[in-house]
Amino acid sequence: MKLSNYKAWIPALTLLAGSVIIGCKPGKVGSAVDEDAAKKVYVAPGKYDEIYAFMSGGFSGQVAAYGIPSGRLLKVIPVFSQNPENGYGYSEETKPMLNTSHGFVPWDDSHHPELSKTNGEDDGRWLFINGNNTPRIARINLATFKTTEILELPNIGGNHASPFCTENTEYVVGNTRFSEPLDDDKTDNPISSFKQTFKGAVSFVKVNKDNGAMNLAFQLIVPPFNYDLAHAGKGPSHDWIFFTCYNTEQAHTLLEVNASQRDKDFIMAVNWKRAEELIAAGKGTKIPAKYAHNTYNENTHTATSVIETGTQVIDVTKFPGLVYYMPCPKSPHGVDVSPDGLNIVASGKLAAVIPVFSYQKMLNAIDKKQYDGMVDGNIPVLKYEAVLHGEVKKPGLGPLHTEFDNKGYAYTTMFVSSEVVKWKVDNLEIADRIPSYYSPGHLSVVGGDSKKPFGKYLLSLNKITKDRYLPTGPELAQACQLIDIAGNKMKLLLDFPTIGEPHYAQMIPADKILKNQVKFFKLDDNKNAYVTKSEKDTKVVRNGNRVDVYMTAIRSHLAPDNIEGIKVGDEVYVHVTNLEQDWDVPHGFAIKGANNAELLIMPGETCTLKWVPGLPGIIPFYCTDFCSALHQEMQGYFRVSPAGANVPIKFSIGENPVTK
C-alpha cells in the first residue's frame, strides 16, 4: 500500500525517552485519599453493593464480578480458560465451549468486557468479552453469570479492538491487532511480504436482539495496520464506528522503534450502516474460512461446537464512502465517543495532547473532500485541522483511555505520568487531576461509555502495583483503585487487588442486573441427554468399554454410592444431576485419581465427569461443596477390577445397612 502525499514524519521518539515510558511514580503519595473514604466504601454486613463491576482477567482469560464500592470479589466467571473451581472446560458439557479451528484451546487473553446496550444505555442483559490471542468473542448471560456463547473470528490475529458494540447491540466488532494474510491464502508467504500480502480484517458480529445469539455477518478487508481499540458512535453518529490504528508504518520487526516513526497514525472511521447495505445488496464476496461457533444450551446445560466454513468480505478500497482515516498523534491506543455522540476522543500513547475530533466536522470534511492524501490509492485521509474539535493541552504524559460522566466531563488515564485527568468536553479545559498508583491503563466510570453515564465512581485499572499491598514474592497482585467522582475534586477511596490483569472494566447499577437473576434451574426443564430426575431412575449402563453412570445428588447423599463392575481402561461418564430446587445448594463431585477437575453442579443441572480408571482397586468419590451438616457423609466407592475381569455391573445405595 502507498501513503501518497501523506508526510508528517518525525524521526523516532522525540517526546519520550525509553525509560520514561515504563512509568514514573507520582508525588504526594496518600495525599489524595478522601477523609471519609472508610465510610464511603463500607458496605455493612448483609447489605448489597450498589454497583456491579465486571473486569477482564487479562492473561487469566476470565471475567470477574466485583461489588462496588466495597471492592468485594463476587465471582470469577470462566470464559476462555478452564476453571477447576467449577469444572468449566473440564466437564463434558462445557468442553465444546473451548473448541476452535486450532482444536481445544483452554486459555486466552481477555481484555474488554462490554455490556450490551439498548438505545445506547447499558441494559444488563449480556456481557461480551474478547479473546485476544486465538481470536474469539464470548457472550455471558447476566441472568446466570455463565458463558453461553463463544464465536471464533477467522482472518485476524490479535482480536484486540473488540468486542465493542453499536448503539443497540446490532453488532459487536472485532478488529485485527496483528495483521496477517487471510486464512484461505495458502501461499507460504515470507514475513517480509507484509506490505503485499498481509491484510487487516474488521469483523461485524450480528447479535440477535431477543436471545443474544451471535453470528459473523461480514468482514471488511482493510489495510494492514495494527488496529487497537474501537468505540461506536451514538445518537447522531449512530451509523459509524471508530477504530484506532498504530503501526501505519507497517513494520513487522522491532515495532517499539519502527512503529513509532510517524508523527501521526490514524483513527479509522467506518460507516457500518453502509457496509450493512452493501452486504444486503449482494456486494459481499464469499470466501472460505474456518472458525468455531460454540453455543451453550441453557435447557440441556450442554454446549455444542460447530465449525463454520465461510464468511462474506468486502474490500473497502472498492467501495467509496465506507472508510475514512483521520490523522491522530501518535501511536493512538484508546478511542472513545462522548455521550452525545458528537466528539471522538483519541489517546496517542506518545502524544503530548489529547486530540478531540468532531463528528460534525468529519462529515463536513467528507462532504468538501478535505483530504490529505489517500491510503491504498483510494481510502481518503481527512485533513487533521478539518476534523479536529480541539486538543486538550498539557494533559500529562501517555494518555491511554477516556470515559465520561453525567456532568459533561471526561476522564483520561495517563500511563506515563501515573494520573487520572478530568477535563471538560465542551471547552477542553483541565478541571482536576489525581495521582494513581501506578501507571493506569483503562479506567471505568459507571456507564462511562454509554449515552447516559451514571457517574459517581471511577475505577483506575493500574499496570504497576509496586508497594501498594503486602508483598507476595516477585509476582504481585494487580492494582485497582476506586475514585469518588461525585464532587468537583476527585477523591481516592480504596485500593483493592483483582484477579488476573484487569485491562478494562464496565460498571452498572446493580438493580439493572438483580431483576433478572436466575436462582436455580428448574429440574422439570432439564433436557440434558443424561439427566436423572429422581433417585429411583439412577442406573449404571455398560456399552462395550463405555460405562454411563446416571447419578443424583441431594442433601446428603450421592446415588448410587456403591458401584462395582468398572474395569481398568473403561471410559466412565458420570452424569450427576443435582435434584435440589432451592437457591445456593450446589453439590460437587470428584473421583480419586481422575485426570480431570471436579464438577460443581447447580440445583436442577446435570454435569458429566469423564474418568478412565488406570489402576484396579477401590476408588472413593465424594461431594466437594460443603452442602449440609452431613456433607462429609456425602461419598461413595467404585470397585475397579482388572481389565480382563468379568465382574458384572452392580450399583446400589443403602443396601446392607450397618445398623437397623
The site for ligand CUA (CB under 6 A) is made up of: 553, 587, 623, 625-627, 631, 634
Nearer to ligand CUA, 124 or 588 (CB): 588
634 binds, among ligand CUA, ligand K7E, none (CB under 5 to 8 A by kind): ligand CUA
Nearer to ligand K7E, 335 or 640 (CB): 335
Nearer to ligand K7E, 460 or 578 (CB): 460
Per-residue binding string, ligand K7E, 201-240, x by CB under 6 A, is ----------------------------x-----------
333 binds, among ligand K7E, ligand CUA, none (CB under 5 to 8 A by kind): ligand K7E
Nearer to ligand K7E, 338 or 444 (CB): 444
Nearer to ligand CUA, 397 or 594 (CB): 594
Q: Which amino acid is at 139?
A: R
111 binds, among ligand CUA, ligand K7E, none (CB under 5 to 8 A by kind): ligand K7E
Residue pair 28/435 in contact by the 8 Å Cβ criterion: yes
Residue 606 burial by CB count (10 A; 0-12/13-18/19+): exposed, middle or buried?
Answer: buried
Among 333, 433, 451, 567, binds ligand K7E (CB under 6 A): 333
Asked if 480 is part of the footprint of ligand K7E (rule: CB under 6 A), the reply reads no
Q: How many residues comprise the chain?
A: 660
Residue pair 402/445 in contact by the 8 Å Cβ criterion: no
Query: 613-619 — which CB contacts under 8 Å span 24+ positions?
Result: 613/566, 613/567, 613/568, 613/569, 613/570, 613/572, 613/638, 613/640, 614/568, 614/569, 615/568, 615/640, 616/568, 616/640, 616/641, 616/642, 619/591, 619/592, 619/593
| Least spacing, CB of residue 624 vs ligand CUA, in Å | 7
Q: Which amino acid is at 84?
A: P
Asked if 112 is part of the footprint of ligand K7E (rule: CB under 6 A), the reply reads yes
| Least spacing, CB of residue 183 vs ligand K7E, in Å | 23
Q: Which amino acid is at 407?
A: K
Per DSSP, the residues of 237-254 read GTTEEEEEEE-TT---S-
| Least spacing, CB of residue 604 vs ligand CUA, in Å | 14
433 binds, among ligand K7E, ligand CUA, none (CB under 5 to 8 A by kind): none
> Phi/psi class of residue 157: alpha, beta or left (left: φ > 0; alpha: ψ in -120 to 50)?
beta
| Least spacing, CB of residue 299 vs ligand K7E, in Å | 35
Asked if 602 is part of the footprint of ligand K7E (rule: CB under 6 A), the reply reads no
Asked if 164 is part of the footprint of ligand K7E (rule: CB under 6 A), the reply reads no
Instruction: Enter the C-alpha cell of residue 600.
Output: 460443581
Rounded alpha-carbon distances, angstroms, from residue 500 to 110, 113, 177, 463: 10, 14, 21, 11
Rounded alpha-carbon distances, angstroms, from residue 255 to 59, 109, 226, 614: 22, 21, 10, 50
| Least spacing, CB of residue 629 vs ligand CUA, in Å | 10
Among 361, 389, 442, 451, binds ligand K7E (CB under 6 A): 442
Q: Which residues face 306 on adjacent strands?
A: 293
Assign 461 to helix, strand or coil: strand
Which residues contact ligand K7E (rule: CB under 6 A)? 111-112, 160, 229, 333, 400-401, 441-442, 503-504
